[in-house]
Amino acid sequence: MTDPKAILYVEDEPIIRELAATFLKDVGFEVVTAESGKAAFEALDEDGAPFCALITDINLGPGPDGWAVADRARALNRTLPVVYVTAASGHEWRDKGVPNSVMITKPFRPWQILKAVRELLAPGGMA
């Protein structure tokens, strides 16, 4: 079983996935990575979503996208903090994003993801 302090990080670009995951590990989080929406579904279904947060790219190539990953994660844990990451504009976030989530656009600095996760995890962060 995954540590409930683990973050599920979903990103199809290996370099971005590895750099961000390493940064999050360096500041004390356990990070489970997934390279596709399908792999994210498997991680969520296998572990029952014990994650403390989800960070997901929107465009993940063939298969489920980041919107679908967040929907699945929230079906398993309705208060799970969600951080969306996208290279496109975030105009769809208001319509497709889960409530109480954050959108970060690429290119980003790793501290931006950390800040978003910490804010969502803070007491009252998931209003």
CATH number at residue 28: 3.40.50.2300
Residue 10 within any structural domain of the chain: yes
Residue 1 within any structural domain of the chain: no
Domains: count for the chain? 1
Per-residue pLDDT at 121 exceeds 50 = yes
Q: What is the pLDDT of residue 48?
A: 58
- Please tell me the distance from the alpha carbon of residue 11 to that of residue 37, in angstroms, as a whole number: 9
Q: What are phi and psi of 105, to 5 degrees?
A: -100, 145
Q: Which domain holds residue 21?
A: 6-121
pLDDT tens-digit map of 21-74: 999 999 999 999 999 999 999 999 885 558 999 999 999 989 999 999 999 999
Angle between helices 14-26 and 110-121 (to 10 degrees): 60
Residue 76 within any structural domain of the chain: yes
Please enumerate in sequence order all residues whose Cβ is within 8 A of that of 95, keeping only pairs 6 or more positions apart, or say none: none
Residue 95 within any structural domain of the chain: yes
Residue 78 within any structural domain of the chain: yes
Please, are residues 98 and 71 in contact by the beta-carbon 8 Å criterion? Answer: yes
Per-residue pLDDT at 126 exceeds 60 = no
Per-residue pLDDT at 2 exceeds 80 = no
Residue with tokens 């903090």: 81
